[in-house]
Amino acid sequence: MRVLVPYTRLHPETARRLAQFAPDAVLRAIDPDDRTGYWRVLAEAWAWPGDLVVIEHDIGIDADVLPGFAACPESVCARPYRWAAGDRLITGFGCVRFRADAKQAHPDVFTEIGELDWLLVEPRIGGELQRRVGRPHVHRPAVEHYGAKSDEQARATRAAYHAAAAEHEPAECE
């Protein structure tokens, strides 16, 4: 099981917890100006052999995350986190494990969908994987999310998501 940590700015507490609980994690820096870098890093890691764990740059794991993922027989499992202050818990790509069989059954999922803006990776790739493999098996408790947004930040991020999605919509036939 390989652990990937894609980041633009690695949160110090995330780094501390990775050193403690996932010292062999592969940290991949992404240029903050590269809107599709996150997609490329994940697409590359999707081809790695074995199980893949993704822990995002602002997630704080605990001692039970990796052993729980390793013991879980499900194809996809995740630890939830709070995306925005007061928001419900979500299971995105913040802390997720994909079994090798899920990756092998769908080796081209990234290239089939195509290169995406970082805001669209989880909803498009994650959504397609849910359609093909099913919803992730949820482990508890939730992990820490140091980037949980205020209501104002959440609204701005959602607006940016919708703008990015509109730019990537296929043209309609006349």
Residue ranges per structural domain of the chain: 2-167
- Return the H-helix or E-strand segment holding 157: helix 151-167
Instruction: Specify the amino acid at residue 169.
Output: E
| Residue 173, pLDDT score | 35
How far is Cα 168 from Cα 72, in angstroms, rounded to an integer? 35
| Residue 153, pLDDT score | 59
- Each residue of 113-135: pLDDT tens digit? 999 988 889 889 999 999 999 99
| Residue 170, pLDDT score | 40
Sheet holding 26-29, edge to edge: 26-29, 2-7, 52-55, 95-98, 76-78, 137-138
Class of domain 2-167: alpha beta
Report pTM: 0.86
| Residue 83, pLDDT score | 74
Cβ-Cβ contacts under 8 Å for 172 (sequence gap 6 or more): none
Q: Which residues of the chain fall below pLDDT 70? A: 85-87, 148-174
| Residue 155, pLDDT score | 62
